[in-house]
Every structure is written in structure tokens, then in C-alpha cells.
Amino acid sequence: MSQRISYVAVLLGAILWGTTGTAQTFMPQTVHPLAVGASRLAVGGFTLLIILLLMRKIRFRQWPWKATILAALAMAIFQLCFFTSIRLTGVAIGTVVAIGSAPMFSGIIEWLLLKRHPNRVWVMATGLAIVGCILLFSNNEGMVVNPIGVSLSLCAGLLFALYTYFNKDVLEKEEAVASVAVIFSVSAAMLLPFLFIFETEGLLTGRGVATVVYLGIATTTIAYILFSKGLQHIPSSSAVTLSLAEPLTAAVLSVLVVGERLDITSWIGISMLLGGILVLTLKGRADSETPT
């Protein structure tokens, strides 16, 4: 896979993630958000794992278990922090803080652990995208900024960056599809007990099952396979910055599907967010076309 296609794959994965919020509006409100998160990981991870096991595509004896468990743990705790932050501070602020802070944490992790200094293109693209995220939801005057909720969102951003870092270690030894299957199955197993703790009434209704299947297959399995495929060929910090397409997609769908309205400031934010993504994507294209 060329570097340009890798950037596009990550971008498409992020766009699929951006449909999560809209899809969840079809879920019965009686289902606890964390139960939804656990269910979607279980559907996405276990389904893919069973298929690969039947095809004998996974070699467990040679599997990089240390990085896998760390990535799965980061993703499991991410679900806890993210969905709790959403409950405390709202979807808009929780999502923007979590996803918007992830590129910063990813760059810091690469700097501290890999001694890789962020380049100017990454700094410019990330700066544009983060400012765009802030402007995008700056019109939520009725939202109450809960300090604990924001702190948990920041933790979620750090955990997503850690997941990306550890997942990249797994991808150095295994294929992207197998990586997603095993990491998410382990992560789902960590979260399964929460299905017996939180409210799940309505989860097995027609709407509930359809929503979980979509969230599990489209926004988990397919999205993370695309993300992991691209991550094999680009820096994790760049991949996390491209994941900022998630709030961009969510904003567009909120207008077109849910019927929400955004003011001019939010649309400026969308433009800046798109600008940051284009800077990084076009830079990736230029690098892929430069002779080595």
C-alpha cells in the first residue's frame, strides 16, 4: 500500500467513526452508553475473530501478546473514560476534547518514547485541526463544562493515542485484519462484565440490534481495519491527526440527518478542520511521489 493510499484509508476509517453519534440516536435511550460501547466491541471483535479462526489466518503462538494486551487495555479504558465523559459533559464537548487532544498526546508519545520530533507540517496540520474542533462546537451555549467530564475526555484522548502507539507495534508483526480481530476481542472481553452492571433494556429490540450491528461492523471492524492498514505505512501522530475527520463527519451528519443547526463560527471551524486534514493528506501524497 502506497503512503498516499494509507492516508486515505485512515481518513475513511475516521469518517466511519464520525457516523457513530448519528447511529446512536437510533438506539433506545434506555440502553446505557457504556453497554453500547461494550456491545459494539464484542460484535466487531468476536465476529471478525471467528471468521479468521475458521480461515486459520491467526498464529497465536507467534502473536505479540504484550503489545496486544496493552492496546486492548487502552481501548477498553478509552470506552470507560469516553462514554462517562459524554454522560457528564455532553456529546459535543466530550467528543471534541477527546479526539482533539489525541494528536497532541500522540506527538508527545512519539517524542518521548521514539525520540521523533514532530515536523512543521504535523504541527501546522494539528494546530489547524484542533482550533477547528474548538470553533466547531463553540456555539453550545447551553452546555455545562464539567471539569471531571473534561478531564475524562483528556484521558480518553491520551488512551486513543496510546492505543495507536501499541497497535503500531502489533502491526509490525501481524496483518491489520488479524490485529483488529484480536485486539478488539480482548478489549471486548475486558468490558463484557459491564453488560451485567449497566442498564441494557432495549438492546435486544429490532432498533437496538440493528444499531449495535452497524456500530460493530461499520464503525468498529471496517473502520479500524482501514485505520490499521493505513497505520502500517504512516506515523501514528499523522494517523491520529487524520482521525479528526471524525468530529467533522459528526457535525455534517448532525445537520443533514439529525437536523441540528451550526452557526458561522462552527462552519469556520469545519473549514479549518478540513484544512488541517488536507495539509496532512497532501503532504503524504507529495512524500509518496518523491523518489527515494
Assign 3-class secondary structure to 119-188. Answer: CHHHHHHHHHHHHHHHHHCCCCCCCCCCHHHHHHHHHHHHHHHHHHHHHHHHHCCCCHHHHHHHHHHHHH
Q: How far apart are alpha carbons 96 and 158 in whole angstroms? A: 13
Is 39 within 8 Å of 216 (Cβ atoms)? yes
Q: Please give the angle made by the CA atoms of 168, 240 and 179, to the nearest 5 degrees.
A: 30
pLDDT, the chain, mean:
81
**Distance in angstroms (rounded) separating the CA atoms of residues 107 and 11:** 18
Q: Name which residue leads in pLDDT, 182 or 263.
A: 182
DSSP H or E stretch at residue 37: helix 33-54
pLDDT at 81: 87
Amino acid 139: pLDDT: 57
Q: Report the pLDDT value the prediction gives residue 27, as an integer from 0 to 100.
A: 85
What pLDDT shows up at residue 145? 56
Tell which wins on pLDDT, 195 or 163: 163
Region 127-144: mean pLDDT is: 66
Mean pLDDT calculated for residue range 148-171:
89
| Mean pLDDT, rounded, for 180-199 | 89
- Tell me what percent of the residues of the chain surpass a pLDDT of 90: 21
Is the model's pLDDT at 106 over the cut of 70? yes
| 210 or 1, higher pLDDT | 210
Alpha helices (runs of H) in 172-257, residue ranges in sequence order: 176-191, 206-216, 223-231, 236-242, 245-253
Rounded to a whole number, what is the distance in angstroms from the first to the last CA of the chain? 16
CA distances from 137 to 169, 248, 275 (A): 34, 10, 17
Higher pLDDT, 251 or 35: 35
CA 88, chain centre distance (Å): 20
One-letter identity of residue 63: W
pLDDT tens-digit series, residues 1-49: 678 888 899 999 999 988 887 787 788 878 887 788 889 899 999 988 9
Residues 66 and 71: their CA atoms lie apart, in Å, by 9
Is-contact 118 283, C-beta < 8 A? no
- Tell whether the torsion through CA atoms of 161, 164, 167 and 168 is positive or negative: negative
The pLDDT value given to residue 285 = 46
Give the lowest-confidence range in 48-57, 120-129, 136-145, 198-207.
136-145
List, in order, residues 6 or more apart from 111 with CB less than 8 Å away. 117, 118
Q: Grade residue 288 by pLDDT with cuts at 50, 70 and 90.
A: very low
Query: Which has more pLDDT, 138 or 98?
Result: 98
Please give the residue that has the higher pLDDT: either 145 or 209.
Answer: 209
Task: Specify the pLDDT at position 146.
Answer: 72
Nearest C-alpha neighbor of 99 from the set 253, 250, 267, 262 = 250
